[in-house]
Structure 1
Amino acid sequence: MNALPLPDGRVLQGESRDSAIWLSCDGRPLIQLRICETNAVQVQEVATADLADALWCASYWWLAAHPQAPRLVWQGLDQQALQACGDWLRGDAGSASAQVERSVFWQLPQPWLRQALPPYPQQMVMSDGKRHPRRRAKPQGEVYRRFDARLGAWISLRTLDIEQDLERFNRWQNTPRVLHFWQEGGDLAQHRSYLESIAADPHVCSLIGCFDDQPFAYFELYWAKEDRIAPFYAVDDYDRGIHMLVGEQAHRGPHKVASWLAALTHYAFLDDPRTRLVVAEPRADNAKMIGYMQTLGYYREKEFDFPHKRAALMAIGRERFFDSGVLC
């Protein structure tokens, strides 16, 4: 891997030579590591005053370059380094080694979330006969950004802007392929009304997916407890559900789905650490999308009937997702 962009605009560059890794940031030396053994490294030199940032960057670089490695072991770190890094770098009692667990590293909201906030305090309320936690006000603007090292492109999510996105949403919904599964064809006035109803609904957040900042997809991220899916499984207060629509033909295909579905699921879990499950209910005959989801780690729990379609209940748990190695 020659370069790895970070969400804050910096770019990591690395070079491996003679059992060592030289890592620089924006062309300036950052940290030098010695490869000790499989999935284990030792600091040789730090060329920055911010040790915690250097260790985080090096850990990210390593995990992105070794997507199947469950952890990275740092050898020879002192307590000062461990304290500077916080919980994502865990020291072993009575040992000079520390570990970065992949499943822990990717659950940290920063830098992937653009508006990272602490969990909203729980307060139970009633709406439409359903008892559920009061939800935080919906975000605005870009909410998620990550460079997909496998794809070699940025994947980002931003909230939908009706004035900016209405025409493309209308075009996407009237594409025969999309119309077959969504059944939401119509004119601009109908789609404006649809998007306005979503904007007014506190349990659904409408998102635009972008590759390298070019819109290609529409997603809906919803709280399952308040949704029509709730009666069909043992729903938890913080489960999230997703609706997915890829509008641009050029961004179809398994490698693109693997990127955006991982990003959308990642965002759903990061947005609230209490979310234990992400679910979806594609049409039961949408074999291609169901297959893509299963490749990512979603399981098909059952089929059930909505008034307008027979659906497959797809789900993935937090532990399974973060242990899967789909993020890099």
Structure 2
Amino acid sequence: MSDVRFEPLDLDRHLELLHAWVTHPRSVYWEMQGASVDDVRAEYAKIAADPHHHALIGTVDGTPAFLMEHYDPAHSELAGHLVHTEGYVGMHVLVAPPADGAEPVPGFTDVVFAAVMQHLFDDPDVTRVVVEPDARNEAIRAKNVAAGFVELGEVALSTKTAMLSTCGREAFAASRLGGRHVTV
């Protein structure tokens, strides 16, 4: 069992770490490969100023380990692609790459993903989580399905062709990842 915590992104404290994560070669689908530190600051300052979009740093056993964003899909580029958005929350998650020279920890991403979903569903107003990964990102699409997401189909967004997917509370609870117990 891992102790997973969430805290608001603090650009003064987390900027260098965040920059390293979003520009890492494994984070290609985050679309910030060539971003400077100032570019990352500007992007996350926009998120901080948006009342419908929030960025959180996640720690696992006290160590910063992932970035999680949640947003209101009705106030996003997805607004025209969803029939119903009452109780829906959009989500992005980026698991930090392993430290230099370290091997990935088997099952670590499952722990993080399960904790993110649990954190979102801890809000009683949330009925469904929405994701829109790049349609070419087979790894995250498989992780989404393991968490109970249903792929609704591809949608053209401004920077990618996305696989629009949703997951209800019950589908997550019944999924392979929903059965994990994580201290949040």
Which interval holds the TM-score relative to the shorter structure?
Answer: 0.7 to 0.9
Q: Are the aligned partners of 2:154 and 2:163 in contact in 1 as well (CA < 8 Å)?
A: yes
Q: Are the aligned partners of 2:67 and 2:96 in contact in 1 as well (CA < 8 Å)?
A: yes
1 CA distance for matches of 2:104 and 2:80? 32
Instruction: Flag the 1:267–1:244 CA change in 2: closer, same or farther, 3 A.
Output: same
More strand by share: 1
Q: CA RMSD in A?
A: 1.7
- Residue 293 of structure 1, CA deviation: 1.3
Secondary structure at the residue paired with 1:153?
Answer: coil
Find 1:195's aligned residue among 44, 60, 63: 44
2 CA distance for matches of 1:228 and 1:176? 26
Give aligned pairs, total. 175
Query: Post-superposition, which runs of at least 4 consecutive aligned residues in structure 1 deviate over 6 A?
Result: none
Written as runs of structure 1 = structure 2, the 5 A alignment for 1:1-328 is 152-178=1-27, 180-184=28-32, 185-249=34-98, 252=104, 255-271=107-123, 273-324=124-175, 325-328=178-181
Q: Are the aligned partners of 2:148 and 2:172 in contact in 1 as well (CA < 8 Å)?
A: yes
2 CA distance for matches of 1:251 and 1:288? 18
TM-score, structure 2 as length reference: 0.87
Q: Are the aligned partners of 1:239 and 1:278 in contact in 2 as well (CA < 8 Å)?
A: yes
- Residue 265 of structure 1, CA deviation: 1.1
TM-score, structure 1 as length reference: 0.51
Secondary structure at the residue paired with 2:107?
Answer: helix
Query: What is the CA deviation profile of residues 266-289 of structure 1, one whole-angstrom value per residue up to 9, with x for unaligned ones?
Result: 111212x12211010000010011
Larger radius of gyration: 1
Q: Are the aligned partners of 1:220 and 1:244 in contact in 2 as well (CA < 8 Å)?
A: yes
Q: Are the aligned partners of 2:151 and 2:163 in contact in 1 as well (CA < 8 Å)?
A: yes
2 CA distance for matches of 1:307 and 1:161? 27
Q: Are the aligned partners of 1:204 and 1:221 in contact in 2 as well (CA < 8 Å)?
A: yes
2 CA distance for matches of 1:304 and 1:172? 26
Q: Which has the higher contact order (CA 8 A, sep 6+)?
A: 2
- Residue 264 of structure 1, CA deviation: 0.8
Q: Are the aligned partners of 2:16 and 2:37 in contact in 1 as well (CA < 8 Å)?
A: yes
2 CA distance for matches of 1:246 and 1:252? 11
- Residue 235 of structure 1, CA deviation: 2.8
Instruction: Flag the 1:257–1:223 CA change in 2: closer, same or farther, 3 A.
Output: same
Question: Among the aligned pairs, what percent are the same residue?
Answer: 30
- Residue 211 of structure 1, CA deviation: 1.1
Instruction: Flag the 1:241–1:304 CA change in 2: closer, same or farther, 3 A.
Output: same
Instruction: Flag the 1:251–1:234 CA change in 2: closer, same or farther, 3 A.
Output: farther
Instruction: Flag the 1:159–1:299 CA change in 2: closer, same or farther, 3 A.
Output: same
- Residue 253 of structure 1, CA deviation: 6.0
Is there any run of 5+ residues in structure 1 with no aligned partner, and where? 1-151
Secondary structure at the residue paired with 1:274?
Answer: coil
- Residue 314 of structure 1, CA deviation: 1.7
1 CA distance for matches of 2:74 and 2:24? 31
- Residue 308 of structure 1, CA deviation: 1.0
In structure 2, give the amino acid aligned to 1:279.
V
Instruction: Flag the 1:176–1:269 CA change in 2: closer, same or farther, 3 A.
Output: same
Is there any run of 5+ residues in structure 2 with no aligned partner, and where? none
